[in-house]
Chain A
Amino acid sequence: MRPTLPSLKYNILVPVKRSIDYAVKIRVASDGKGVDTNVKHSMNPFDEIAVEEAIRLREKKPSVVSSITALSIGPPKAADTIRTALAMGADSGIHITVPESTVVEPISVAHALKKVIEDKKFDLVIMGKQAIDDDSGSTGGMLAGMLGWGQGSFASKLEVEEGGKVNVTREIDGGLEKVEGKLPMIVTTDLRLNEPRYASLPNIMKAKKKKIETLKPEDLGLDFTPRFETISVSEPPKRQGGGKVESVDELVGKMKEAGLI
């Protein structure tokens, strides 16, 4: 943690994850150790919101944002996810490549992000509150703990003032909470933060020229050996629809039968 407020300009890091598209109905793989991944993938929806927010911060105050970097850890195809972030408006990308079969756990991601942040000096990390595949929701908080930075989790509003003061409105159970922090800081995005833009064709073309730095875990001295052993992945118990009734009266009858009225 740097002791003083950073200079006027700050660098934003946006970690993005390539995950199975949110609309895909997933299938448990036949070996019972995972899910069938031979399906459409896209950027984790919460990460899209993070990219969008970084771009909006710069649009609001162009003079204070020095750079926006999108980072992804994953197989070669994760480069597509970085390209998407670049097409939305990020400046450059970092891709930490791992073989297709490697599972990178949240703790490994947090270690990797910490290393990159220390090496390359980022001041603000905006990331999704959870990935919709693993649903763990732990990477952002872990990273904040490891770095000793403040955290604004589940943000539905974010303001960064010149000088590095940060205001975050957080979604909590029962309503909203406002906290004030200062850079450097980790912010995780909730759905309500913004509506991500679509990349335009010219921007997609431009994104092809933007630079993606490719790193290997070894280059960073990282070890992604999983700590968890997957015992099984199974289908949830199937719920049987009970059929339809013809009228409100019949519905009332069913509810009475169930002892609900």
Chain B
Amino acid sequence: MFARAALRTSRLSTSAASTLSSTAALRRRLASSLVFLEHKDGKLNDSSLSAVIAAKVLGNDTAGIVIGSKADVDGVIEEAKKIEGLSKIYTAASDAYAHALAENVAPALAKVLPAKSISHIFAAHTAVGKNVFPRLAGLLDSSMIADIIALESSGDTFTRPIYAGNAILKIKSSPKDAIKIVTVRTTAFDKASVGSGSAAVEEVEATTGDSPTKYLSEELTVSSRPDLSSAPRVVSGGRALKSQENFNSVLDPLADALGAAVGASRAAVDAGYADNSLQVGQTGKVVAPELYVAVGISGAIQHLAGMKESKMIVAINKDPDAPIFQVADVGLVADLFEAVPDLAKKIESAKA
């Protein structure tokens, strides 16, 4: 990859400049990657572990960075140090960094990246990544490469879904974007292991953006179920559930029987049957569990965008022509109000 890059550069330059171009190529080779390690309430968010695996494709030296409030960072660093594949953990602590406010965190990153000769920075394509990284791109006048599902070791070629996953775009980034700012679709990469790593910790002098906005409060949906984005099994409901009561009373026993997280289509969320944070699709979460059970979901393009990478898709729907049956591995045409409770019961008894 090194030779090819050098060749390309030298073709474009005169022979007098060829020394320069090989210096540039060398610098590129020596450059290193950084993974933005997201965390909440003093705990590492494991979607960042997928970003580590993506970063390692480049074969560069890869460090992690933990930015947060003083109260939070210590615990997160302890976890972060053990991530396999990271040579170093940079850290910056300030109460200004609490709640990952983009106006404070992005300037901190913008200062660290050039200081540490970072060529690529990766984050998970989560709400935090999607909020902080575009601002970082604006600060550095660099493009952003969002939601990648693959990348090449050359470090300038990335693959990402467009049009709600109905087309796959492969792009080559220009040298004009000196630092590649990349978010990673977490379901497209494995997660780095946490355990045997022993990265050194280095505090970095960062800066805050003197944020014009401030955090007020948050309201989280409390659930005893597995987290939707990372759950190995998901049971999702659509408009056909008809009410919030049904949504819970019909889906919960099945989710319990399978040990699954609960998701929802946009129609179910818009109708108020389920919370926004449960929405699966182009504008909600993208999941790729081993089992996805779609209950009363027709299978609109926007919903399929969020779940069609699931290993096994089961669909239960009254309408035999619902598009969901075109992607489902197993389809059952039935009234969900009868079939789902029956299925939950039979799974429970099969387990016993």
Contacts and interface: CB of A to CB of B under 8 A. Distances in A.
B138 A141 contact: yes
A177 B217 contact: yes
Contacts of A176: 218-220, 276
Contacts of B209: 148
B330 A251 contact: yes
A57 to B, nearest CB: 18
Interface in A174-225: 174-182, 185, 190-192
Contacts of A190: 283
Contact of A145 (B136, B146, B213, B325): B136
Contacts of B172: 228-229, 231
A116 B170 CA distance: 31
A146 B138 contact: yes
B72 interface: no
Contacts of A150: 103, 211-213
Contacts of A146: 138-139, 141
B167 interface: yes
Contact of A26 (B143, B167, B277): B167
Interface in B9-42: none
A1 B170 CA distance: 37
A229 B166 CA distance: 20
Nearest to A172: B127
B44 interface: no
A245 B219 contact: no
Interface stretch (B78-86, B114-122, B157-165, B198-206): B157-165
Contacts of A231: 157, 170-172
Contacts, number: 259
Given A229-B174, A234-B170, A248 B342 contact: yes
Interface residues of A, number: 83
Nearest to A111: B141
Nearest to B300: A23
Interface in B56-111: 99, 101-103, 106
Contacts of A132: 163-164, 282
A234 B168 contact: yes
Contacts of B343: 248, 251-252
Interface SS majority for chain A: mixed
Nearest to B266: A191
Given A22-B302, A154-B131, A245-B330, A235 B167 contact: yes
Interface stretch (A69-77, A86-94, A253-261): A253-261
Could you say which of B101, B134, B329 has the most chain A C-beta atoms within 10 Å of its C-beta?
B134
Interface stretch (B189-197, B235-243, B331-339): B331-339
B252 interface: no
B213 A180 contact: yes
A227 B176 contact: yes
A167 B214 CA distance: 10
Given A235-B168, A236-B161, A242 B130 contact: no
Interface of B: 99, 101-103, 106, 126-128, 130-139, 141-144, 146-147, 157, 160-174, 176-177, 209, 211-221, 229, 233, 258, 266, 270, 275-277, 282-283, 285, 290-291, 301-302, 308, 312-314, 320, 325-334, 339, 342-343, 346-347, 350-351
17 contacts: A22-B301, A110-B138, A141-B130, A141-B131, A142-B144, A144-B135, A145-B134, A151-B131, A167-B216, A229-B174, A231-B157, A231-B171, A236-B308, A239-B308, A241-B329, A244-B325, A244-B332
- The 7 A-B pairs with the shortest beta carbon distances in the complex, nearest first, are A145-B138, A141-B134, A181-B213, A142-B138, A242-B329, A175-B220, A150-B212
